[in-house]
């Protein structure tokens, strides 16, 4: 890992956005109840929106790119002297390594391959200043189940091509195969789920 990063010590900054068009699969997932039910899971739309930003460093033929996305929902209600708060959130962290088969020089076309991983840090909590200890313990178990629905990790692999313009701008497209692994547990036990999908996207990059 360190040997791979050493050539990037004097690399350029590299920033951009990906656009993933919404399709029929998104509607089917909603209609079939394949979302997490929390609104902030991997397949709920907020944590992985159609337009995502990324950034990193690039040298002649290699780039390390990272991304962060956040989804958060919080509601608080008051009734007389009682305050109840419910929170759900997720932070999605990703890192990818891109290898260019042709040096991405200006006015050139550069194909590349990419491999990366991501993980989702889940947040969920329930609080009320009117709950007894037993009620608070029960709602803490509910929040733990929700965190298990939100969290997950994935591996992605694919390729793309970039058309390099002047001033460090580039336009391109890519397609990745994504393997997502989720875990869920409740009072009845634990379960694991694996989802495999392809994800095409249009890309815009800027090298500085």
In the chain, how many domains are there? 1
Residue 36: its pLDDT value, please? 83
pLDDT at 189: 83
| pLDDT at 188 (0 to 100) | 79
In tens, the pLDDT along 162-208 reads: 999 999 999 999 999 999 999 988 777 889 999 999 999 999 999 99
Residue 92 is assigned to a structural domain of this protein: yes
Per the domain annotation, does 199 fall within a domain? no
Instruction: In whole angstroms, give the CA distance from residue 70 to residue 67.
Output: 10
Q: Given a cut of 60, is residue 38 above it in pLDDT?
A: yes
pLDDT of residue 37: 84
The answer to whether residue 197 is domain-embedded is no
Within a domain: residue 189?
Answer: no
Determine, yes or no, domain membership for 22: yes
Asked if residue 120 belongs to a domain, the reply is yes
What per-residue confidence (pLDDT) applies to 29? 58
**Boundaries of domain holding 38:** 11-173
In a domain, residue 196? The reply is no
pLDDT digits (tens, 9 = 90+) for 131-168: 999 999 999 999 999 999 999 999 999 999 999 999 99
- With b for 16 or more beta-carbon neighbours within 10 A and e for fewer, the 148-165 pattern comes to bbbbbebebebebbbebe
Q: What is the mean pLDDT of the chain?
A: 90
Model confidence over 61-82: pLDDT tens digits? 999 999 999 999 999 999 877 8
53 pLDDT higher than 60: yes
Would residue 208 count as lying in a domain? Answer: no
- pTM for the structure as a whole: 0.87
């Amino acid at each position: 890992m360190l040997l791979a990063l050493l050539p990037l010590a004097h690399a350029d900054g590299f920033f951009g956005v990906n656009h993933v068009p919404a399709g029929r699969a998104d509607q089917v997932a909603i209609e079939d109840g394949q979302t997490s039910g929390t609104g902030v899971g991997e397949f709920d739309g907020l944590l992985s929106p159609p337009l995502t930003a990324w950034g990193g460093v690039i040298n002649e033929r290699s780039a390390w790119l990272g991304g962060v996305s956040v989804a958060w929902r919080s509601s608080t209600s008051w009734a007389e002297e009682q305050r109840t708060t419910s929170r759900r959130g997720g932070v999605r962290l990703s890192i990818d390594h891109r290898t260019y088969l042709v040096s991405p020089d200006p006015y050139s076309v550069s194909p590349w391959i990419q491999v990366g991983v991501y993980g989702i840090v889940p947040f969920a909590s329930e609080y009320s200043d009117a709950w007894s200890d037993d009620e608070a313990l029960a709602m803490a178990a509910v929040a733990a189940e929700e965190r298990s629905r939100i969290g997950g990790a994935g591996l992605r692999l694919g390729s793309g091509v970039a058309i390099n313009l002047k001033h460090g701008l580039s336009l391109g497209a890519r397609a990745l195969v994504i393997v997502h692994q989720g875990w869920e547990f409740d009072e009845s036990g634990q379960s694991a789920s694996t989802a495999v999908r392809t994800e095409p996207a249009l890309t815009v990059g800027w090298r500085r």
